[in-house]
Amino acid sequence: MDQYETAVVPLDGSEFSRKALAHVARINPKAVILIAVMESVASALSRQTGIVADVPPDVARKVSEAEQRRLRADLDAARDELRELGWTGAVSPLVVTGNPGEQIVAATRDASADLVIMTTHGRKGIRRAMLGSVAEHVVREVKETAVLLVRP
């Protein structure tokens, strides 16, 4: 089989999501896009606490800027980890805001990526129905792209 051109690797800041990086080194695509998706402050507040509230714009901006810095640092660390694993291809970090599944699909399409490597928690039943599945959304929406799901 020919080498994959571009792999999209979604990371959420967790150690678990970084397990996908070892598969990048094994599969050896020519280029990788490391993507982190940031929720809006109001969405994160609602999801984490159940409180729906207007967040003052200056507070939202400060929280958003801090989260962007944290995510960029995480993507830089992931790039360094890829190098430590011996992978030498091109790495592009990407931090975006929005719905994780939709943003991963958009990045995959925008880059004409031919592979997505991502982790999945493998939830079933009510937990999956309540929490949704980013991985399931990606698999369903990127029909022309191979998807490797890494389980716990």
CATH number of the structural domain spanning residue 121: 3.40.50.620
> What integer is the mean pLDDT of 69-82?
96
Higher-pLDDT residue of 56 and 149 is 149
> What integer is the mean pLDDT of 94-104?
94
Which residues have C-beta within 8 Å of that of residue 68, sequence separation ≥ 6? 38, 95
Nearest to 113 by CA among 37, 14, 27, 39: 27
130: confidence class by pLDDT, cuts 50, 70, 90: very low
The whole-angstrom separation of Cα 88 and Cα 110 is 23
Whether residue 1 lies inside any domain: the answer is no
% pLDDT > 70, the chain? 83
Whether residue 112 lies inside any domain: the answer is yes
- Name the residue range of residue 97's domain: 6-150
Whether residue 61 lies inside any domain: the answer is yes
pLDDT of residue 131: 44
Q: What domain count does the chain have?
A: 1
